[in-house]
Amino acid sequence: MIRPLRFLIDLLFPPKCCFCGKIVFTHRDDVCPACWDTLPELSGGERRLDAMQKWQPPAQRAAPGFDAGATQPLDGAATPSPTPALPDGMQLEAAVRCVSALRYEGGVRRGFLRYKFSGDYWLGEVFGEIMAGVIFEALDGEFDAVTWAPLSSRRRRKRGYDQAKILAETVAERLGFPLVPTLIKKRDTAANSSLTSAADRAPNVSGAYDVLPDAANLRLLLIDDILTTGATLSECARALIDGGAESVVCAVFAEADGT
C-alpha cells in the first residue's frame, strides 16, 4: 500500500529540487544532479569565532577545539601567542572552530529561505545530511554530543519549529551522537537580518542565553543555520564554556558574507 500511495503522491505533486525548484524523479531525490554538481562549496570552509573562556591554570586548559592564545580569532590561520598567567577569575579570548557546508548564495539561499520562512521544515533533514558529511570530514573526534543555538520560545511558537534544532537532530542521527539540549534563549533579540554589522549583532545577543546543567564536562558540537558575523555562535559558545562545557566546536549549513 505504501509504494502505490507514494507513487500517486509523486504523480499529483511532483517532488522538486530543494535548491533550484526543478522537478526530480522521486521524493528521495531532494537535490537534482545539476545542483549537486554546482553547489557553492567553501574553499576550506572553516572560520574561527570569538568566545570568552574563563582562565584556568595552563595544565587544565588543553580543551580540544580551542586556540586560547589566538591573536586573530576570526582568521582561519590564527597565530598562537604565549598564554599569560592571569589571576583566577579573569578571562581569555578563545577561538572556536566553525565549519560551514556551503556558501550562502544562489539556490542555497533560496532553499534556505523556504526552509526558514515558508514552513518547509522537511528541508532541514536534507540540509542536515549535507552538513553531516562535512562535519564527519572536518571535526571527527572533536565532540561527543550535539547541541544547537535555540530560538526564543516566542519565536519558536510563531514559526512552528526551531530550524537549528532540526539540523542538529539530523546531524546527531546521521553521525550517531546524542542530541543534548544545553541552551535556553531567555529573551527575544532583534532579527539578525535587520542588523548589518558585527558591531550591531554582538550586543544584540550578549547575555541572551542561559546554560542548562547538562552542558557540564561535554565536548560539544554546536549547530546553527547561517554564519554571517558569528555573533550568535560566539555568544552561545561563550555561555557554554562559562557553563562548564569541556570544549565547543561549531558547524553551520551555510556561510554568508559578514561585516
- Owning domain of residue 132: 42-255
Same domain, 16 and 99: no
* Greater model confidence, 206 or 247: 247
- Is the confidence at residue 75, as pLDDT, over 90? no
Same domain, 8 and 74: no
Q: What is the mean pLDDT of residues 142-166?
A: 94
Same domain, 21 and 75: no
Q: How far apart are CA 258 and CA 100, in angstroms?
A: 14
Please work out, in degrees rounded to the nearest 5, the angle formed at the alpha carbon of residue 77 by the alpha carbons of 243 and 239. Answer: 10
Q: How far apart are CA 75 and CA 49, in angstroms?
A: 8
The mean predicted confidence, pLDDT, of the chain is 77
* Greater model confidence, 185 or 56: 185
Same domain, 28 and 120: no
Same domain, 1 and 99: no
- Is the confidence at residue 236, as pLDDT, over 50? yes
Same domain, 67 and 189: yes
- Is the confidence at residue 27, as pLDDT, over 70? no
Q: What is the mean pLDDT of residues 138-154?
A: 95
Of 144-148, 189-193, 224-228, 243-247, where does mean pLDDT reach its minimum? Answer: 189-193
Same domain, 15 and 57: no
Q: How far apart are CA 255 and CA 47, in angstroms?
A: 10
Residue 95's beta-bridge partner residues? 50
* Greater model confidence, 77 or 203: 203
Q: Which residues of 156-173 are buried (b: 16+ CB within 10 A; e: fewer)?
A: eeeeeebbbbbbbbbbbe
Q: How far apart are CA 206 and CA 25, in angstroms?
A: 46
Residue 24 has a CB neighbour count (10 Å cut-off) of 20
Q: How far apart are CA 175 and CA 188, in angstroms?
A: 31
Same domain, 32 and 63: no
Same domain, 199 and 223: yes
Q: What is the mean pLDDT of residues 104-121?
A: 92
- Residue 19 phi, psi (nearest 5): -105, -45
How many domains are contained in the chain? 2
> pLDDT band at residue 145, thresholds of 50, 70 and 90?
very high
Same domain, 173 and 208: yes
* pLDDT of res. 73: 34
Q: What is the mean pLDDT of residues 230-235?
A: 89
Instruction: Give the three cell numbers for residue 144.
Output: 561527543
| 147 touches 179 (CB < 8 A) | yes
- CATH value at residue 220: 3.40.50.2020
Same domain, 77 and 13: no
Q: What is the mean pLDDT of residues 57-81?
A: 34
Give the global pTM. Answer: 0.75
β-pairing verdict for 91-103 and 46-54 = antiparallel
Q: How far apart are CA 183 and CA 189, in angstroms?
A: 15
Same domain, 120 and 185: yes
- Residue 178 phi, psi (nearest 5): -70, 145
